[in-house]
């Protein structure tokens, strides 16, 4: 095993996103402050996973904890992003339910097994959250230029990444056994990762620029 | 053979992934286009509402001015004119008798003093900024006092909660609605008592105008041509984001409840 360009670029983008958030903390809304914290945690987890992969050849435990934290963070981000009261309650309820089920599932799982099913369910949940956000944007079109709305880019990234991730994980075993190499599939997933965190970084920068002259909540 | 198989697998994967991202990308592009269309409709509707609001505000201001001028012309004819006529009569009988003259002169002076005071009060009413200088409750109390003094009706005004300021436009439109209610009572109700209450809650101002008059068939009157004033009250309430409910029982009186949100 060796460090690749992808490993460095991927983690660098996440770190830059987190640092941007902390540098301009006062300009961020509640949703983006949570996102900054989540990016920092993602960087730490990914770095720990890489280290464990090099030293112990095994890093599933990192991803098991990461899954639980990810559910909580994204639930929080969409709780603050959505403005409709019913949608907020639903987001909170679904995230809490998935978190509890994931906890039970992960603790009952053998050590050397990845919680593939829960990752897929989480992807579906995040797809639902992002589509809800788009739905409420249409219902209440107050924003003048939607392409400058940080939430739009955040949700677009979440939607595209989780659609790809869902299909990748759901079909991984099947595709690997039919001959499509794991390496190519992994490369596609890696590109998706860079796209996802790259667009999240862009959303973070838009948020910082947007609230340059605005008071913070 | 293996290379051909692998190449085929790569092609399938490439096409599948391309289709996936094409579908997602198209979906997001369609969303953006649809959003901008909805946004245009939203801006247009907002502009129409704004124009309607300004039109209502202008109409309320004109009605206020008309009402004020009508009231002043009535007061000049009924009060000031009568007092000045009396003063002229008193001055005409001066000089007939020394003792009588001093008493009559004093009475004439008193009458002139009253006429001057009445004119000064009327001049205040001509000031169109009067509504802006005083609170809604003070303006409403003024209106009630005028009714009490001229029509000898029993009037009650009550306030509950902490007074919350409202915008000048809302104040004018709300005062106009109260005036409309009081005018309706005067013209049609044949009432002896009017009760006006202001209840300030955390989110809105609730106004109740109640009388003990003849009452009327609310749905029938609102639908007819005579119900323009009532329809104006309901429309104006909705323009400022509130609502108005009118209930009435024959021989027992009428209640108008108006809710005006602060925001």
What pLDDT is recorded for position A217? 38
- List the one residue out of B45, B53, B51, B47 whose CA is nearest residue B173: B53
Establish if A203 touches chain B: CB-CB under 8 angstroms: no
**A5-42 pLDDT, tens digit each:** 888 899 999 999 999 999 999 989 999 999 999 999 99
Segment B129-142, tens digit of pLDDT: 666 777 889 888 88
- Say if A124 falls within a structural domain: yes
**How large is the C-alpha radius of gyration of chain B?**
32
Tell me what pLDDT residue A54 has.
83
Contact in structure between A49 and A84 (CB atoms under 8 Å): no
Distance (Å, whole) CA A85 – CA B259:
24
Residues 6+ apart with CB under 8 A from B27: none
B233 compared with B1, residue with greater pLDDT:
B233
* A54 located within any domain: yes
Domain housing A25 = 5-212
Domains identified in chain B and CATH numbers: 135-263 (3.30.565.10)
Does A217 reside within a domain? no
Encode pLDDT of A163-198 as tens digits.
988 888 877 766 666 656 666 777 778 888 999 999
Does the CB of A217 have a partner CB in chain B at under 8 Å?
no
pLDDT number for residue B247 = 92
Is the ipTM value over 0.90, yes or no? no
When divided into structural domains, chain A yields a total of 1
Cβ proximity of A149 and A157 under 8 Å = no
Quick check: A164 contacting B, CB < 8 Å? yes
A200-211 residue pLDDT tens? 999 999 999 987
CB–CB contacts below 8 A, A to B:
47
Q: Which two tokens mark B153?
A: 């009706």
Contact B219, B245 (CB under 8 A): no
Asked if A191 has any chain B CB less than 8 Å from its own CB, the reply is no
Of A67-76, A116-125, A181-190, B66-75, the least confident: A181-190
Q: Are B239 and B53 in contact (CB under 8 A)?
A: yes
Q: Taking CB atoms and an 8 Å cutoff, what residues of chain A touch B24? A: 159-160, 163
Percent of chain B with pLDDT over 70: 92
Q: Is B36 helix (H, G, I), strand (E, B) or coil?
A: helix
Does residue A176 form part of some domain? yes
Q: Tell me whether residue A183 is in a domain.
A: yes
- Closest among B157, B117, B119 to B138, alpha carbons compared: B157
Whether A108 maps to a domain, the answer reads yes
User: Cβ of A180 and B10 within 8 Å?
Assistant: yes
Which residues, at least 6 apart from A196, have a Cβ–Cβ distance to it below 8 Å? A157, A158, A160, A161
Test mutation, A130, A133, A138, A182, chain B, max B CBs within 10 A: A138
- What is the per-residue pLDDT for A216? 41
């Amino acid at each position: 095993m060796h460090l690749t360009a992808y490993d460095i670029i991927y983690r660098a983008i996440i770190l830059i996103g987190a640092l941007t958030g902390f540098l301009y903390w006062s300009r961020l809304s509640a949703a983006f402050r949570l996102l900054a914290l989540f990016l920092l945690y993602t960087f730490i987890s990914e770095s720990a996973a890489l280290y464990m992969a090099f030293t112990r050849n095994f890093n599933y435990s990192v991803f098991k904890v990461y899954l639980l934290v990810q559910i909580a963070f994204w639930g929080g981000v969409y709780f603050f992003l959505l403005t409709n009261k019913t949608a907020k309650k639903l987001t909170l309820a679904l995230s809490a339910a998935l978190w509890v089920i994931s906890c039970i599932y992960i603790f009952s799982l053998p050590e050397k097994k990845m919680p593939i099913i829960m990752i897929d369910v989480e992807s579906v949940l995040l797809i639902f959250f992002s589509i809800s956000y788009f739905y409420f944007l249409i219902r209440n079109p107050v924003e003048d230029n939607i392409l400058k709305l940080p939430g739009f880019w955040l949700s677009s990234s979440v939607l595209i990444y989780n659609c790809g991730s869902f299909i990748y994980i759901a079909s991984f075993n099947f595709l690997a056994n039919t001959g499509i190499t794991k390496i190519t599939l992994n490369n596609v997933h890696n590109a998706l990762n860079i796209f996802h965190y790259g667009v999240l970084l862009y959303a973070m920068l838009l948020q910082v620029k947007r609230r340059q002259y605005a008071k913070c909540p | 053979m293996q290379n051909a198989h692998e190449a085929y697998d790569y092609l399938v994967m490439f096409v599948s992934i391309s289709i996936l991202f094409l579908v997602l990308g198209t979906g997001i592009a369609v969303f953006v286009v649809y959003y901008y269309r909805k946004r245009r409709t939203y801006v247009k509707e907002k502009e129409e509402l704004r124009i309607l609001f300004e039109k209502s505000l202008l109409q309320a201001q004109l009605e206020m001015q008309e009402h004020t001028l009508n009231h002043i012309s009535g007061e000049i004819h009924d009060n000031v004119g009568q007092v000045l006529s009396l003063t002229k009569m008193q001055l005409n009988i001066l000089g007939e008798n020394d003792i009588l003259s001093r008493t009559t002169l004093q009475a004439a002076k008193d009458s002139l003093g009253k006429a001057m005071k009445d004119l000064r009060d009327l001049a205040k009413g001509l000031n169109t900024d009067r509504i802006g200088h005083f609170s809604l409750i003070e303006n409403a109390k003024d209106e009630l006092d005028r009714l009490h003094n001229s029509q000898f009706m029993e009037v009650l005004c009550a306030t509950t909660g902490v007074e919350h300021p409202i915008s000048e436009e809302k104040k004018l439109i709300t005062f106009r609605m109260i005036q409309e209610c009081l005018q309706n009572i005067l013209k049609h109700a044949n009432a002896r008592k009017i009760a006006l209450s202001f209840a300030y809650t955390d989110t809105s101002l609730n106004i109740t105008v109640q009388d003990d008059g003849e009452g009327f068939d609310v749905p029938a009157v609102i639908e007819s041509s005579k119900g323009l004033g009532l329809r104006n009250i309901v429309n104006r309430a909705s323009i400022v984001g509130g609502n108005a409910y009118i209930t009435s029982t024959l021989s027992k009186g009428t209640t108008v409840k108006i809710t005006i949100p602060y925001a």
